[in-house]
Amino acid sequence: MHILSSHTEKTELQLLVRGLVYAPGDAHYDAEVAAFNLATRHTPDLVLSAVNADDVVAAVRWAAARGMSISVQSTGHGAANAIIGGLLISTRLMLELSIDPEERTARVGAGVRWRDVLQAAAPYGLMGLHGSTTDVGVVGYTLGGGIPLLGRKYGFASDHVLAFDLVTPDGVLRRVDAHSDPRLFALLRGGKGNFGVVTAMEFSLFPAGELFAGGIFYEGGHARAVLGAFRGWSRRLPSEASASLAFLRLPDMEEVPGFLRGKFVMHLRFAWQGNAEEGARLLAPMRGAAPVLVDGVGPLPYLRVDEIHADPEHPVPVHEGGLLLKELDDGLEEALLQLAGPDSTAPLLLAEIRLMGGALAVPLRGAVPDADCVGGRDAALSFFAVGIMAPQIAHLVPAAIAAARLALEPYGTGGAAVNLYGHLTSPELAASAWPEAARLRLSEAKAELDPKNLFRHGHAILPAPAVVPAA
């Protein structure tokens, strides 16, 4: 284990980089390590606010020479686990962004958020494959596969990556694409941050077109009727349409709209890329499923897509977890109602199911047989639960998330979406987020590319043990 010798090493690293280096006790240390999840408090020995790829190269070489663990953070949205010790490289200032409207591609630095991409692409009528909120970082989201808002039409975000700029654990900056290194390219698509620091990424953009989208709120007392209607309706939806359904128990806080404050509601989220008349026809069965509190679905300018899910805009303390599900049948419907329905006492702010399928179910083809490491192509639904770590219930929330996973396990595929897995209590648990074949490939590659397991924080997978030849 590496032991930091006061501020000497901070000074050493600072002399090698343009970005600023902070140690515990420094004025800007807490702000630099802060995660979007306020329940997660990182305490690295040092944090580097990198400004370019050269900084990352120098920092990785420096840390590797000392056997110091290395972690990475951009926006901090995926910070389910606290980073303790080692060197944290913050990429939030790496804001390179360019759009090629003729090729319909984008190149982004590691600190760029999806919101930035959409604003830059909008003048050309283009958009990227972001998730439920555009506040998250493009790179971290995509390394985990990325389930886009319109994923049923286009597939996973990682399916459409063209190239990565990657600093590997040996401190070498490499351009990784399907031609230069097809194996590593496949491992990065869904393999999260196991093989170094991605400093920039290039990917395809798509026509923004017309969007008919938004949310419908129902009184929570109608949960059974709404869920039952969603079950039949969702099976008939074309792949151009995406939908999710959430059980929401919202706190009585000023940040919550008045009509939702302190209430239990059902929230249907719908997105259709096409003309409004066809979208309205598709949505009609859910508009009649139960009395509607608020119907906010209609033609929507693409830059307002965050209104569909209405995810939190500001950091909050939460505990979360998820898994992938096979299909919405009688058993799962009852399990969801018991878990989060009107009679539930579980301290869950949100319990949601998102439709998978469509293009998300199509295997990716590439230069190697296993073209990515994404799990979820066999899932019909993704389940995700969140609990607020408020002082009065913080001791109950983790157990509630664990109980939710256990209750839904019989209906699961055995996998999870890496970005939505939640709190990781061990490397073995982290590894279970990937399908078995992908897990083996990741572990074997980890032993080859990061044998000292320098990148061992967060969604890290253990290197495969060395095979000792028989005597």
Instruction: Give yes or no for residue 468 having a pLDDT over 50.
Output: no
**387: pLDDT confidence band, cut at 50, 70 and 90?**
very high
Tell me the one-letter amino acid at 316. Answer: V
In whole numbers, what is the pLDDT of the chain averaged over residues?
93
Instruction: Give yes or no for residue 41 having a pLDDT over 80.
Output: yes
Cα distance between residue 138 and residue 160, in whole Å = 13
**pLDDT for position 429:** 66
**pLDDT for position 265:** 96
Contacts of residues 280-286 at CB distance under 8 Å and 24 or more positions apart, as own/partner, are 280/212, 282/237, 282/238, 282/241, 283/212, 285/229, 285/232, 285/233, 286/216, 286/226, 286/229, 286/230, 286/233
Of 92-96, 186-190, 466-470, give the lowest mean pLDDT range: 466-470
| pLDDT tens digit sequence for 63-82 | 999 999 999 999 988 888 89
Instruction: Give yes or no for residue 219 having a pLDDT over 50.
Output: yes
Tell me the one-letter amino acid at 120. Answer: A
**pLDDT for position 382:** 97
Token code pair at residue 277 = 């008349």
**pLDDT for position 394:** 93
**pLDDT for position 210:** 95
Cα distance between residue 2 and residue 86, in whole Å = 8
**pLDDT for position 117:** 98
Token code pair at residue 358 = 């469509």
**pLDDT for position 426:** 67
**pLDDT for position 199:** 98
**105: pLDDT confidence band, cut at 50, 70 and 90?**
very high
Tell me if 355 sits within 8 A of 381, measured CB to CB. Answer: yes
Instruction: Give yes or no for residue 460 having a pLDDT over 90.
Output: no
Tell me if 34 sits within 8 A of 76, measured CB to CB. Answer: yes
Cα distance between residue 30 and residue 128, in whole Å = 32
Contacts of 413 (CB under 8 A, 6+ apart): 323, 324, 325, 326, 376, 378, 379
Which of residues 206 and 82 earns the better pLDDT score? 206
| pLDDT tens digit sequence for 146-165 | 999 999 999 999 999 999 99
Instruction: Give yes or no for residue 431 having a pLDDT over 50.
Output: yes
